[in-house]
Chain A
Amino acid sequence: AQSVTQPDIHITVSEGASLELRCNYSYGATPYLFWYVQSPGQGLQLLLKYFSGDTLVQGIKGFEAEFKRSQSSFNLRKPSVHWSDAAEYFCAVVQGNKLVFGAGTILRVKS
């Protein structure tokens, strides 16, 4: 079965600093990968997705992610974090009829 690992439970960055959230997956074939963001009390909003093609994908809110097959990774990046980016971020991979999610990374932004 596929699994998704987000090694960092919490990350704190200063406003304006760069951000990288790590995601590793286990999957034999080319995976369908997603990053979602969840603000408190709300559902999940899709940031970006990778199905095939260019390994660097652009998403909303200035986020991007790079698929690296050799490292089984799909890390999320943003060059300059804004206070409004504080939220929980989930990486997910398609497995059959469902999404398998990582445990999430909580991002705190210091002003």
Chain B
Amino acid sequence: GAGVSQSPSNKVTEKGKDVELRCDPISGHTALYWYRQRLGQGLEFLIYFQGNSAPDKSGLPSDRFSAERTGESVSTLTIQRTQQEDSAVYLCASSSRETQHFGDGTRLSIL
């Protein structure tokens, strides 16, 4: 497709389980971003990938959060030992210059 694709669209899991979220960026976009959106709030930056450079992980809230990206393709965001406060929509964006294009997000619910 032409846009940013995220999967799954919804994920419900039990507290303490690990989850993996996937993002397929727009083809040719070198930059990829992960954001978290808690209910009723704006977006919080989590991590940024640019080509083969070291990622900017300054927004990751704890060491339970990690992300990987292979080259300029797919990225996965992993949350280990999930907690109820991890419940949120996780949005991925990609860009080739300054404008970020967003996917529809993964809605994560921790029971």
> Total interface residues on A, using CB and 8 Å?
23
A92→B4 CA distance, assembly (Å): 19
B6, B99, B105: which contacts A49 (Cβ < 8 A)?
Answer: B99
Main secondary structure of the interface of B (DSSP, over half): strand
Min C-beta distance of A2 to chain B, whole Å: 12
Tell yes or no: B42 within 8 A of A by CB: yes
Quick check: A46 and B101 within 8 Å, CB to CB?
Answer: yes
Quick check: B43 and A97 within 8 Å, CB to CB?
Answer: no
A88→B108 CA distance, assembly (Å): 20
A96→B43 CA distance, assembly (Å): 16
A-B contact pairs, 24 of them (CB 8 A): A34-B100, A41-B107, A42-B104, A43-B6, A43-B91, A43-B102, A43-B103, A43-B104, A44-B43, A44-B91, A44-B93, A45-B102, A46-B99, A46-B100, A46-B101, A49-B99, A97-B56, A98-B48, A99-B35, A99-B43, A99-B93, A101-B43, A103-B41, A104-B41
Binding site for A on B (CB under 8 A): 4, 6, 33, 35, 41-43, 45, 48, 50, 56, 59, 91, 93, 98-105, 107
